[in-house]
Structure 1
Amino acid sequence: MSDVLAAQGIHLSYGSSQAVKGANIALQRGEIAAVTGPSGSGKSSLLYCLAGVLPVGRGEVRFDGRVLGDLDDEELSSLRRDRFGFVFQYGELLPELTVEENAALPLRLAGKRKAQAFAAAREVLGRLGLADLRDRRPSQVSGGQSQRIAVARALVHQPAVVFADEPTGSLDRANAQAVLQEFLSLARSQRTAVVLVTHDADVAAQADTRYTMVDGVLTLEGRSAR
Structure 2
Amino acid sequence: MGEAISTSEILSTSAILSATGVDLSYGQQLAVRDAHFSVAPGEVAAVTGQSGSGKSSLLYCLAGVLPAQRGQVRFEGRSLGDLGDEEISALRRERFGFVFQYGELLPELTIEENTALPLRLAGQRKQPALAAAGAVLERLGLGELRGRRPSQVSGGQSQRVAVARALVHRPAVVFADEPTGSLDSANASAVLQEFLDLARSQDTAVVLVTHDRAVAAQADSHYTMSDGILTPRSSA
Q: Is the 8 A contact 2:217 2:235 kept in 1?
A: no
Distance 1:14 1:4 in 2: 27
What residue number does 2:81 align with? 69
Match of 1:17 among 29, 32, 47: 29
| CA distance in 2: counterparts of 1:200 and 1:7, whole angstroms | 23
Alignment counterpart, residue 224 of structure 2, candidates 203, 212, 220: 212
SS in structure 2 opposite 1:145? helix
The answer to whether the aligner puts 1:100 opposite 2:112 as a matched pair is: yes
Contact residue 173 and residue 204 of structure 2 kept, 8 A: yes
How big is each residue's C-alpha offset from its partner over 1:76-130, in whole Å with a ceiling of 9 and x where there is no partner? 0000000000000000000000000000000000000111101110111011110
Say which of 174, 179, 187 aligns to 1:175.
187
In 1: Cα distance, 2:16 partner to 2:60 partner = 16
Structure 1 distance, partners of 2:14, 2:33, is 25
Q: Secondary structure at the match of 1:196?
A: strand
Q: Is 1:184–2:180 an aligned residue pair?
A: no
**Partner residue in 2 for 1:158:** 170
Q: Which runs of 5+ in 2 are unaligned?
A: 1-12
Question: Given residue 122 of structure 1, which amino acid in structure 2 is its aligned partner?
Answer: G
CA RMSD of aligned residues (A): 0.7
Question: Partners of 2:86 and 2:28 in 1: how far apart?
Answer: 30
Q: Secondary structure at the match of 1:157?
A: coil
Structure 2 CA distance for aligned equivalents of residues 103 and 94 of structure 1: 10
Question: TM-score, length-normalised on structure 1?
Answer: 0.98
Q: 2:128 matched to 1:116?
A: yes
Question: SS where residue 89 of structure 1 aligns?
Answer: coil
Partners of 2:48 and 2:210 within 8 A in 1: yes
Query: Does structure 1 conserve the Cα–Cα contact (< 8 Å) formed by 2:21 and 2:36?
Result: yes
The answer on whether the counterparts of 2:99 and 2:163 sit within 8 Å (CA) in structure 1 is yes
Q: Which amino acid aligns with 2:22?
A: I
Structure 1 gap segments, 5+ residues each = none
Is the counterpart of residue 134 in structure 1 residue 146 in structure 2?
yes
| Alignment: residue pair count | 224
Is the 8 Å Cα contact of residues 23 and 71 (structure 2) preserved in structure 1? yes
4+ residue runs over 4 A deviation: none
SS at match of 2:58: helix
Residues in 1 aligned to 2:219 and 2:154: alpha-carbon distance in whole angstroms: 26
Distance in 1, matches of 2:50 and 2:22, equals: 20
| C-alpha separation in 1, matches of 2:126 and 2:14 | 35
- Measure, in 1, the Cα distance between the counterparts of 2:50 and 2:163: 24
What's 1:51 paired with?
63
Q: Distance in 2 between matches of 1:127 and 1:91?
A: 18
